[in-house]
Amino acid sequence: MEEENGKEVEQLQDVTVMFAGDSGDGMQLTGSQFSNTTALLGNDLNTLPDYPAEIRAPAGTIYGVSGFQLHFSSKDIHTPGDSPDVLVAMNPAALKKNLPNLKPHAMIIVNIDAFTQKGLNLAKYESNPIEDDSLKGFRVIPVHISKMTETALKDTGLSPKDIARSKNFFALGMMYWLFNRPLEPTMKWVNQKFGKKPVLIDANIKALKAGYYFGDTAELFTTRYKVNAAKLPAGKYRNISGNEATAMGFVAASLLSDRELFLGSYPITPASEILQYLSKYRNYNVSTFQAEDEIAGVVSTIGAAFAGKLAITSTSGPGLALKTEAVGLAVITELPIVVINVQRGGPSTGLPTKTEQADLLQAMYGRNGEAPVAVVAASSPSDCFYMAIEASRIALKHMTPVILLTDGYIANGSEPWRIPEVSELKKIEVPNPPAPEDYQPYLRDENLVRPWAAAGTPGYEHRIGGLEKANITGDVSYDPDNHDEMIRIREEKVEKIQKFIPELEVDGDDEGELLVVGWGGTYGSITDAVHKAREKGYKVSHAHFRYINPMPKNTEEVLRRFKKVLVPEINKGQLAILIRNKFLLPVIQYNRVRGLPFKSSELEDKMIELLGGKND
């Protein structure tokens, strides 16, 4: 073991840290600063912000606790970590909420100043856990975070309230010391953020440094830790969240298709950030329209698609429910739109800030009439970038609405992303309509796609709408046989997308005892669990859907090569229903709907159980 300034330096491969405090304590900011700095050091990382729906829940209560979990490593990782190794608890409630989930012998750094009688009462502690033996086995490090922040900032001229708000930076500085991280990236951020308020720059940097130096000089910490850079493939990297990747993906799709981007949207947790990010891209010719409601969001999108734009709308579950009728309008008018659903806990308002996968059947079937749409799902924060491009490609090439499913976990979570070269991104070819004299609104090409003649183009004047259309001419038609034919065409048109999407890949052996099949945001937990089970000698493979409607053409063949198929989902078995229905295959479900991503350990246990083993 190395030594530095009289303290031991221990090499770690892999650490999970949880920052937890009141929802006004700035824990999300602390966590994201730590993530960005950690990413810059070259660690692989994965994050799980977990915060209450209330903006400022009553201080000190358990339901007001906001947490940011961060897993970083010198190897390739896929999850935010099952259980934290280190907890930073800014108050008793944060301790109480997170204690059950900690690893045995975890380090607990508490802000001892918040462990007053009032704080303990609010957290419903009968006695002080720091003083009794309820934390036996953990490494408890009590720190006067509040008091030391006050002392450090007493000459800044800030009000006591503003000083109290800086204590998260003290905690951050301390953690930077503990894990050997530089202060510069955060200092740079502080300078940018508070550029016009030098007093706040001064205060935040003072608090940050005070925390760092405290770690260095205090006797409390005998060891500091080093987590080396991960061996990631060569290239340029940045840290990215799913919502930012989604926004960037659509800007990229706009450039790749040479169609200006239009977003009609209404703010909703956890999708609002997509609207926020896209509002910044004016110089990319991006038009954002913050509509009066969810319905206007999607309907304005349809109006822009009619006029030839790459038109998208972003929402979350309850918003998708409101957009239902309009998505049907896009189906019958066969216009290209993309609807992004950042799934959250439902039904109804449900758990707005928590994650879930329970809108798959809503995306597939949640409309009146026979109204097929293409459905794709992103599997990680950075995959949101690629699936945004794919969703756009399918919409523009096949003249169909596409629903892109992400979820609260990958939307808010972040990971290092190897930024692609421009040459790695494939152009999106948008078919041109035939010459005006040959044009009819519902002509079909070999993929049953109708031509897209943007409104306003001379020579292609036509009328479309929600009434059933005669095939080819596009005139309103009440003819029974035409209706039957149009229903079949709309379905086949979506099925034909299968020719243009990649096959389902298998991670692991191509055939065998057990295949784990997932979709969307469970990719990381499943990958982690499968790899761990394999390291223990179990034969288990993994296939992950990013294209759900239509499914890849080799789907049935892949599934039938395995004796057992396990489908873990954060819902009651919606992909399982689709697979059973389509292939009459008996699949085994694993469903937990707790508003949180799966722990890889629970999935690993389930796989090993199915293979007749026992996980120790």
Partner 1 sequence: MTDNTKINVEPLKPKDFSSGLDVRWCPGCGDYSILSQIQKTFAKIGYQKHEPIVISGIGCSSRFPYYLSTYGFHGIHGRAPALASGTTLALPDHPVWVATGDGDLMSIGGNHFIHACRKNMDIKLLLFNNRIYGLTKGQYSPTSEKGKITKTSPYGSIDYPFNPISLALGSNATFVARTVDREPKHMQQIFEKASEHKGTAFIEIFQNCVIFNDGAFDDVSKKDVKDDHMLVLEDGQPMLFGKEKEKGIILDGFEPKAVNLNDGKYTIDDVIVHHEKDESGILAFILAHMTDNPNLPTPVGVFRSIRKQTYGEALQEQIKNVTEEKGKGTLEMLLSEGNIWEVN
Which residues between 321 and 340 bind partner 1 (CB under 8 A)?
Answer: 325-326, 329, 333
User: Is 493 near partner 1 (CB under 8 A)?
Assistant: no
User: Is 191 near partner 1 (CB under 8 A)?
Assistant: no
Residue closer to partner 1 by CB (options 8, 293) is 293
Residue closer to partner 1 by CB (options 163, 338) is 338
Nearest residue to 50 via CA among 72, 66, 36: 66
User: Is 239 near partner 1 (CB under 8 A)?
Assistant: yes
CB of 45 to partner 1, least distance (A): 13
**Do the beta carbons of residue 1 and residue 9 sit within 8 Å?**
yes
User: Is 34 near partner 1 (CB under 8 A)?
Assistant: no
Distance between CA 125 and CA 299 in Å, rounded?
52
Among 57, 208, 248, 449, binds partner 1 (CB under 8 A): 248
Stretch that binds partner 1, among 58-66, 196-204, 267-275, 414-422 (CB under 8 A): 414-422
Stretch that binds partner 1, among 12-20, 126-134, 260-268, 397-405 (CB under 8 A): 260-268
State which of positions 51-110 bind partner 1 (CB under 8 A): none
**Do the beta carbons of residue 27 and residue 57 sit within 8 Å?**
no
Among 106, 140, 256, 394, binds partner 1 (CB under 8 A): 256
Q: If you search the block for the tokens 């399918």, which residue do you land on?
A: 394
Number of residues counted as binding partner 1 (CB under 8 A): 72
Distance between CA 285 and CA 307 in Å, rounded?
15
Residue closer to partner 1 by CB (options 34, 221) is 34
Stretch that binds partner 1, among 134-142, 152-160, 285-293, 563-571 (CB under 8 A): 285-293
CB of 184 to partner 1, least distance (A): 11
Distance between CA 400 and CA 392 in Å, rounded?
10
Strands 374-377 and 547-549: antiparallel
User: Is 437 near partner 1 (CB under 8 A)?
Assistant: no
Residue closer to partner 1 by CB (options 299, 526) is 299
Among 157, 198, 235, 586, binds partner 1 (CB under 8 A): 235
Among 475, 485, 556, 605, binds partner 1 (CB under 8 A): 475
* Distance between start and end Cα atoms, the chain: 30
Angle at 270 between CA 336 and CA 97, to 5 degrees: 155
Residue closer to partner 1 by CB (options 61, 246) is 246
State which of positions 538-577 bind partner 1 (CB under 8 A): none
**Do the beta carbons of residue 22 and residue 55 sit within 8 Å?**
no
| 337 three-state secondary structure | strand
CB of 432 to partner 1, least distance (A): 17
User: Is 507 near partner 1 (CB under 8 A)?
Assistant: no
Distance between CA 205 and CA 191 in Å, rounded?
9
Distance between CA 441 and CA 469 in Å, rounded?
10
Distance between CA 148 and CA 142 in Å, rounded?
12
Among 179, 214, 289, 452, binds partner 1 (CB under 8 A): 289
User: Is 457 near partner 1 (CB under 8 A)?
Assistant: yes
**Do the beta carbons of residue 220 and residue 7 sit within 8 Å?**
no
Which ranges in 16-159 belong to alpha helices (H)?
A: 27-40, 92-98, 117-122, 145-153
State which of positions 123-182 bind partner 1 (CB under 8 A): none
Stretch that binds partner 1, among 143-151, 190-198, 288-296, 521-529 (CB under 8 A): 288-296
Q: Can you give 540-606 as a three-state secondary structure string?
A: EEEEEECEEECCCCCHHHHHHCEEEEEEEECCCCHHHHHHHHHHCCCCEEEECCCCCCCCHHHHHHH
| 303 three-state secondary structure | helix
Residue closer to partner 1 by CB (options 164, 455) is 455
Q: If you search the block for the tokens 């991670």, which residue do you land on?
A: 507
User: Is 515 near partner 1 (CB under 8 A)?
Assistant: no
Among 137, 157, 369, 465, binds partner 1 (CB under 8 A): 465
